[in-house]
Amino acid sequence: MVTFRHKGNFRNTEKFLNGYDKDRLLRVLNTYGAEGVRALASATPIDSGVSASSWSYRVDISASSFSITWENSAKTYQGTPIVILLQYGHGTRNGGYVQGIDFINPAITPIMDKIADAVWREVMT
């Protein structure tokens, strides 16, 4: 059995983090959101080019967090996201299987590393 005990609160940490310039941080996230779209578009396997050109992003802000979500609007006629089929693979009508290609993680990992560095610099300045 593992037991953790905590005494105190995070008041000083929250005070520090609430002091940063949210507009500057939002600009950083928008910059890397657009860079992520370019990276994902260039890494997406191309047949017709529809999936590669269907990437977008949004930055969501709440009282306690910021987030970036990358989305792809290309779907099959049944509504399945095409990039999910490309990433993870899928069955075919005749019982075969098309192996997935991990293109999302290699494309977005360097962007995530840049975001972490940039956000840390923004918070620390």
The CA distances from residue 41 to 25, 68, 102, 109, 116, in Å, are: 24, 16, 14, 14, 21
The whole-angstrom separation of Cα 46 and Cα 106 is: 16
At 29-78, the pLDDT tens digits run: 999 999 999 999 999 998 778 999 999 999 988 777 788 999 999 999 99
Are the beta carbons of 51 and 80 closer than 8 angstroms?
no
The 3-state DSSP class for residue 55 equals: strand
Q: According to the model, what pLDDT value does residue 6 have?
A: 60
Residue written as token pair 């977005």: 108
| Mean of all residue pLDDT scores within the chain | 85
- pTM reported for the whole predicted model: 0.77
